[in-house]
Chains A and B, each alone.
Chain A
Amino acid sequence: QSVLTQTPSVSAAPGQTVTISCSGSSSNIGKNSVSWYQQIPGTAPKLLIYDNNKRPSGIPDRFSGSKSGTSATLGITGLQTGDEADYYCGTWDNSLSGWVFGGGTKLTVL
């Protein structure tokens, strides 16, 4: 049981837009910045979004992030087949004194 809650799976056609939600609490998302990671099977996770809505160098602007209260959202526009992956949200939890992650959302691009 993950501390952060994500929808297990989402699917959409190429070119469409999807959003992936991440729900937490006042001890984690409510007080700290959220990051989003993309994990293609068999590889290490890669940072997509940090500080709720910032993109590291090299991440296309098709990827966006937002946070409101104790929830965060990852948006992906112009879906490509290469976007098929597992997506995780993560943040620090002040009560647990540790990093916490969502259970992951599997994105299928039909």
Chain B
Amino acid sequence: QVQLVESGGGLVKPGGSLRLSCAASGFTFSDYYMSWIRQAPGKGLEWVSYISTNEYTIYYADSVKGRFTISRDNAKNSLYLQMDSLRAEDTAVYYCARGDIDYWGQGTLVTVSS
């Protein structure tokens, strides 16, 4: 069965960095584009970034452009999100999602606070 497992969240100070990972299993990872989506506490869903199967096409939400970097390793069935220059407003649960957002991971909490 399809499984997406995020890791790497935690508490970080404003201006700091964090790298999230998403381990995929149960499907051919290299066949699917992937996305990161976040949800601030008590708020709705916000798409963060998209990456195509071969990394040739990458998109970012304006709110994270220039600060976050999405990447993937198809040999390791893994998706990543490098988050730099973190701000308080980046505090959220971060989910990885497959393809047309049909499967979601369980999420990993990122808290940006001094």
Contacts and interface: CB of A to CB of B under 8 A. Distances in A.
B11 interface: no
Contacts of A44: 95, 104-107
Nearest to B4: A44
Nearest to B48: A98
B21 to A, nearest CB: 16
Contacts of B59: 97-98
B35 interface: yes
Interface size class of A (residues with CB under 8 A): 20 to 34
A101 B47 contact: yes
B37 interface: yes
A50 B104 CA distance: 14
A50 B44 contact: no
A60 interface: no
Interface size class of B (residues with CB under 8 A): 10 to 19
B44 A101 contact: yes
29 contacts: A2-B44, A35-B100, A37-B101, A43-B106, A44-B95, A44-B104, A44-B106, A45-B45, A45-B95, A46-B104, A47-B101, A47-B102, A47-B103, A50-B100, A50-B102, A56-B102, A88-B44, A90-B45, A90-B101, A97-B50, A97-B59, A98-B47, A98-B50, A99-B47, A99-B101, A101-B44, A101-B45, A101-B47, A104-B44
Given A50-B100, A101-B44, 6 more contacts: A35-B102, A44-B107, A45-B104, A90-B45, A99-B35, A101-B47
